[in-house]
Every structure is written in C-alpha cells, then in structure tokens.
C-alpha cells in the first residue's frame, strides 16, 4: 500500500519537472520595478570614463547620464541613485561641492529631472565622502576624527540643495548619529515635505566597497570603522533601525546586500516600511570577474544573486545591473 505524506507517495520533485512548472510555483519573482540603478557622473569629462574594477560601469558625462536615465525608464526600472564626482581641485575639508548649487551632483539632478520628469524616481547620495579632500563622510575635528554633530549641519544643507535641484528621494549614507531627524527637519523647514528619505540604516564597514572607491575617485586614507557598523554585529542594526524610524525615515536600507542577507531578513521582518538592499561594487565585480574567466555562468549568477536578495526580504534592490536585468525580465 502506498503511504502518503512520505516517500514514495510524496515526491517534491514533481513540482520541478518543467520550466513552466517551476515558473508557476516560484515563491520569489524579480520585477523591473524592484530595481534601482546607481550611477556616477563625473565633472569635466567629455566622454564616459570606464571604471576598471567594475567592467561595464562608467563615470558618466552629463549627456550620457541623461541617456542612461532614459534607458532605465524604458526598461521599467523604478529609480536612479546619483553619485557626483567633482574635479579633484574642488574638493576641500568640508566638501563644498556637496552644497554648491552648481556642484556636479546638483547639476546632474537637474539634468535627470529635466530628462525623465516623474517617470523615474531621482535619488541622490547624501554624503560628503565624494567631495572632501580627506575622503571621509563627514567634517573632521582637530584630532582628525569625524565630528558627528558638525557633519549633521553639512547634511542639513546638502538635503536642501539636493531637494531644490530635483531629488525625489535623498539617501543619507554617512552613518552619523541623528542624521535622519536632522535631514527631515531641514527638508520640512525648506518646504520639501514630499521629498522622501531612504535611510542607509545598516551600512557595514565592508571590504567589498573597494571598486566603489575607484568609481568616485575617493581620497580616503584610513577607514570608516568609527561610524560604519562592525560586520560582527546584528543587534546594532536593529538599534539603528529603531532610531531611523523614530526620526522619520520613509524607507530603510541594508548595505552591502549579499554578505548580510541575515541582517536584511531581520530588518524586513521587523518593519512595515519599504526595505531596500544595495548590491555593492565588490559583489558586482566578483561576478563579472569570475564570469570573464569562465568560472561561472554570468547571467545565471546575476539572477540568482538578485533573487536571493529579494527572497531575504528586499522590496527594492540597488544594483549596477538594474537596466540590463529589467530589460531581460520584460523580454
């Protein structure tokens, strides 16, 4: 007599027999609207500049950035997160290009909004690391340490100029204590109540940021371990999460994504706001490098990595493959 509820009566492989079957019972599905494209725009270049450690990614000119934004719209991508790369000579101790209305990031925000309007969420990185001559995410004190509260004043000003330049969403990524509350107050006082805040809630001091440093021409010496989170810690992320929500975050993010899927799952289970994850430069570079050597199947690896991030709880994923993947999903 066949016994049901165990082998041989029960055979889970029945639900894996064909592509149509696997598609029908899939528990996690990627959609173009899940994706956000991070993009770099560099001041003073006439052609896009390839980033050696991130094959296929470039530092855009203003014109090529507008084209990339239009392509993202056509592919169904939800948003574009902009990072500005100013000329080296314009960097200073307080990151002046970050609050100059004519700084490269603010100019790019106006360009992209003019190009795509409200068809794409235009997001801006709100941090000083790309604009300071020391490469840290904040203002330094006399001992060379990042001064949290002095940095908050700069963040408030950055939020105002980015909103005025057209950002739908600002993304504070510096991991300063109190940054979300200060930025929310600054935006509201300036009449930008509709500008949303995507909080980099759990941003770890990761070794996987390496290629990003090239992408933004970072001037960093040393590390960011005094303000980014220790990779060994979990509860710290939940504390940061509670504080960001209390201060007014509209959305929260875990960064990096792949090495921190456990953190992502904990955050997603704990909140009722949208949760994003950033598949960072090192995650991108590893797959591209291994695929270039023929060690893995590139397209399958990309889709598997992104599916894993969504399965762990991400509503949205920042990925350098956003437009490419969205095009494939639509096809």
The packing angle between helices 62-75 and 104-116, to 10°, is 40
Q: Which two tokens stand for residue 116?
A: 């795509």
Strands (E), 194-331: 196-203, 251-255, 275-278, 316-318
Are the beta carbons of 123 and 82 closer than 8 angstroms? Answer: yes
Q: Which of 66, 91, 203, 310 is catalytic?
A: 203
Find, among 181, 193, 178, 166, the residue nearest to 82 by Cα. 166
Are the beta carbons of 77 and 326 closer than 8 angstroms? Answer: yes
Q: Which two tokens stand for residue 5?
A: 């509820």
Active site residue 310: no
Helices (H) and strands (E) in the chain, counts: 11, 10
Rounded Cα distance between 32 and 55, Å, is: 22
Q: Which of 90, 91, 225, 255 is catalytic?
A: 255
Active site residue 203: yes
Strands (E), the chain: 35-42, 49-50, 58-60, 79-85, 121-126, 169-172, 196-203, 251-255, 275-278, 316-318
Q: Which residues are catalytic?
A: 203, 255
């Amino acid at each position: 007599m066949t016994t049901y509820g165990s082998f041989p009566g029960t055979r889970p492989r029945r639900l894996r027999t064909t592509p149509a079957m696997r598609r029908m019972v899939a528990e996690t599905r990627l959609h173009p609207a899940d994706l956000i494209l991070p993009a770099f725009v560099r001041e003073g270049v006439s052609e896009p500049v390839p980033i050696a450690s991130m094959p296929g990614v470039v530092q855009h000119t203003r014109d090529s950035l507008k084209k990339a934004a239009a392509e993202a719209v056509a592919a169904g991508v939800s948003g574009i997160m902009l990072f500005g790369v100013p000329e080296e000579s314009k960097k200073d101790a307080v990151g002046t290009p970050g609050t100059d209305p004519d700084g490269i990031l603010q100019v790019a925000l106006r360009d992209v909004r003019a190009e795509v309007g409200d068809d794409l969420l235009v997001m801006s990185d709100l941090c000083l690391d790309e604009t300071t001559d020391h490469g840290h995410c904040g203002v330094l004190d006399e001992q060379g340490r990042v001064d949290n509260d002095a940095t908050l004043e700069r963040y408030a000003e950055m939020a105002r100029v980015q909103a005025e330049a057209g950002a739908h969403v600002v993304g504070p990524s510096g991991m300063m204590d109190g940054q979300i509350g200060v930025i929310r107050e600054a935006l509201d006082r300036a009449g930008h109540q509709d500008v949303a805040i995507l909080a980099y809630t759990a941003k770890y001091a990761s070794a996987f940021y390496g290629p990003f440093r090239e992408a933004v021409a970072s001037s960093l010496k040393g590390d960011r371990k005094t303000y980014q989170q220790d990779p060994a810690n979990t509860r710290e992320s939940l504390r940061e999460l509670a504080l960001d929500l209390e201060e007014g975050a509209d959305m929260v993010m875990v960064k990096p994504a792949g090495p921190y899927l456990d953190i992502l799952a904990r955050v997603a289970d704990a909140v009722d706001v949208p949760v994003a994850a950033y598949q960072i430069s090192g995650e991108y570079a590893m797959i591209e490098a291994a695929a270039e050597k023929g060690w893995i199947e590139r397209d399958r690896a990309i889709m598997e990595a992104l599916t894993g991030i969504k399965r762990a709880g991400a509503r949205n994923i920042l990925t350098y493959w956003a437009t490419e993947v969205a095009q494939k999903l639509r096809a």
